[in-house]
Amino acid sequence: MNPPEVSETSKTHEVLNQPPPLTGYNLYLSDPTLVEAIQREGAAWADPQLRALGHLLGTEEVQRWGFDANEHEPVLHTHDRFGNRRDEVEFHPAWHNLMRVSIENRMHSLPWVEPRKGAHVARTALLLLAAQNELGHTCPVSMTFSAVAALRAEPELAAEWEPRILSAKYDPRFRPAAEKLGALVGMGMTEKQGGSDVRANTTRAERIGNTRDYVITGHKWFCSAPMCDAFLILAQAPRGLSCFFLPRWTPAGERNAFHIQRLKRKMGNRSNASSEVEFAGAWAWLVGEEGRGVQTIIEMVNCTRLDCAAASAGLMRQAVVQAVHHARHRKAFGKLLIEQPLMQDVLADLIVESEAATLLMLRVASAFDTRSSSEQERSFARIATAIAKFWLCKRATSHVGEALECLGGNGYVEESIMPRLYREAPLYSIWEGSGNVICLDVLRTLAKEPGSLDALIQEIRLGAGVDSRLNAFASEVESSLGKHAQQIVQGGGSDSERDARRLVEKTALALQASLLLRHSSSAIADAFCASRIGRDGGHTFGTLPVGLDFQRILDRVSSNL
């Protein structure tokens, strides 16, 4: 018997009840929370650029780049065929396309080249959009942006490198930076024996004569985006841990002794290369004072922490958009999923979380804009960056996991974006200070910067008075913050550390409630207050209490897609 013809087998059934692909939509215009915040936070001038990027990222072609860059992982070439070291990583063209778009949109430079009102908000909003399409490539974009903050500690170096770093041209060629149209900067702190505790770094720096030039010998256990043109690294100099600027090519135009050992095989973040490197007597330039490496690099770290929060908010936004889109088109048991009461609760809960994340992240970004002219804003930026980084990164993993389930089995399949979002989510909680480290940093800031406590309380109180649940919760949070600040000043103690996550979590919730009450719809603010601070919620998403205005919450996403 002949096998059935292909045309016959394709006639076995009609494909029904599957949603259309979510493509051809504007990621910016479909997000009223973001559009409103851009106006409110003084970044309306960036609206045309955000519209254009939002449109581009929603096209089928650019969505494909995200998939291609992750399916075709970067390849390391340690040596050429003659045995000479190459230390080059080759990327799929889709990676370069994504990089080009982000650099041309000045996601790595906007507030530095255009330090006007709302510039940090605008840049963070651009990143929030890019994160929804492909996050891996934003790693070098974010590090380059953040490096400028630290590099300025070294005016001579900044004068030479800033024009290249701030250039809106993406130039992936492996050449000395002076020959290139634009340059990228990475960061190397983590070593095998310790990442959080960088004081344990063993990489050595020896000064060359009476100059600011050093020879670096040692390694880094994680060094992402090794094709960057230079790296800010930490190494032990005679006066202690110091920060250095280590380019891939020496000033004499030779390849620096920056040897890429191998690339990490990672759970997610696959488009990006994360390497292990050896510095075999590499040339580097001291940045800031010898022995004050952490203080010098901390400004870079604060900027990347803001970006971790933005990345996590972006992941949550994309996850909930995908979930709502699916539920609008998929039927089960005679109704669209979005009409099923229990699914409405799950989706509404995810929408509330995503909106709270976007608002908190943008409020912190706005403090980056205003901190140079206001002491309170400076204090707020310092402590709220850590709080937002901890909380949004933590929430992203469970949020994306729940959103994935809204798509049923389709959500577990690679052709949907969901597995990629899910694998990406835990990363932002690990790097730039893992959860515990961030919470301990919040305690330290409370103790060292008394203004930070006031700044938090002022911000939370702006929303209190409107809602009795926030009034009660804010008093509780204020007294915990005050108690901890006092305990730490008096020498701390293990109880204070043990309580740090509870404290940071509650403070984040109070901040989010305050922001939602001021800037969101009453339906969303009410749902948040009832479930997150009024204690009428559960431990999984989809446990909002009955009696809320579910339709209005769903419309916030659904009616804009």
Ligand X SMILES: Cc1cc2nc3c(=O)[nH]c(=O)nc-3n(C[C@H](O)[C@H](O)[C@H](O)COP(=O)(O)OP(=O)(O)OC[C@H]3O[C@@H](n4cnc5c(N)ncnc54)[C@H](O)[C@@H]3O)c2cc1C
Q: What is the binding site for ligand X (CB under 6 A)?
A: 186-190, 194-197, 222-224, 266, 269, 274, 427, 430-431, 434-437, 440
Nearer CB in complex with ligand X: 233/515: 233
Q: Shortest gap between Cβ of 463 and ligand X (angstroms)?
A: 30
The whole-angstrom separation of Cα 219 and Cα 276 is 8
Nearer CB in complex with ligand X: 264/552: 264
Closest to 122 (Cα-Cα) out of 186, 24, 26, 28: 28
Q: Shortest gap between Cβ of 137 and ligand X (angstroms)?
A: 13
Q: Shortest gap between Cβ of 292 and ligand X (angstroms)?
A: 18
Nearer CB in complex with ligand X: 76/466: 76
Q: Strands 331-332 and 274-287: what pairing?
A: unpaired
* Contact (CB, 8 A) for 501 and 435: yes
Intra-chain end-to-end CA distance of the chain, in Å: 51
Q: Shortest gap between Cβ of 322 and ligand X (angstroms)?
A: 24
Q: Shortest gap between Cβ of 180 and ligand X (angstroms)?
A: 21
Nearer CB in complex with ligand X: 222/258: 222
Nearer CB in complex with ligand X: 376/434: 434
Closest to 531 (Cα-Cα) out of 520, 518, 555, 547: 547
Amino acid at 313: A
The whole-angstrom separation of Cα 91 and Cα 98 is 11
Nearer CB in complex with ligand X: 103/135: 135
Q: Shortest gap between Cβ of 480 and ligand X (angstroms)?
A: 19
Closest to 215 (Cα-Cα) out of 238, 182, 198: 238
Structural Rg of the chain based on CA atoms: 24
In DSSP notation, 174-229 reads -S-GGGSS---EEEE--BTTBSS-GGG---EEEE-TTSSEEEEEEEEEEEE-TTSS
The whole-angstrom separation of Cα 182 and Cα 49 is 21
Phi, psi dihedrals of residue 160, rounded to the nearest 5°: -75, -45
The 10 Å Cβ neighbour count of residue 253 is 10
Q: Shortest gap between Cβ of 15 and ligand X (angstroms)?
A: 38
Nearer CB in complex with ligand X: 437/462: 437
Task: Say if residue 189 is exposed, middle or buried (CB neighbours under 10 Å; 0-12, 13-18, 19+).
Answer: buried
255 forms bridges with which residues in the sheet?
249
Nearer CB in complex with ligand X: 222/244: 222
Q: Shortest gap between Cβ of 272 and ligand X (angstroms)?
A: 7
Closest to 186 (Cα-Cα) out of 258, 123, 92: 258
Q: Shortest gap between Cβ of 298 and ligand X (angstroms)?
A: 13
Q: Shortest gap between Cβ of 190 and ligand X (angstroms)?
A: 4
Closest to 142 (Cα-Cα) out of 102, 196, 190: 102
Q: Shortest gap between Cβ of 426 and ligand X (angstroms)?
A: 9
Nearer CB in complex with ligand X: 242/531: 242
Phi, psi dihedrals of residue 273, rounded to the nearest 5°: -95, 130
The whole-angstrom separation of Cα 416 and Cα 467 is 40
Q: Shortest gap between Cβ of 458 and ligand X (angstroms)?
A: 29
Kindly list the distances between the CA atom of residue 533 and the CA atoms of 79, 255, 525, in Å, as whole numbers in the listed order: 57, 56, 11
Nearer CB in complex with ligand X: 153/440: 440
Nearer CB in complex with ligand X: 189/346: 189
Residue 229 CA to its chain's centroid (Å): 22
Q: Shortest gap between Cβ of 151 and ligand X (angstroms)?
A: 16
Nearer CB in complex with ligand X: 105/496: 496
Q: Which residue is nearest to ligand X (CB)?
A: 195
The 10 Å Cβ neighbour count of residue 218 is 20
The 10 Å Cβ neighbour count of residue 299 is 17
Sign of CA dihedral 94, 100, 102, 103: positive
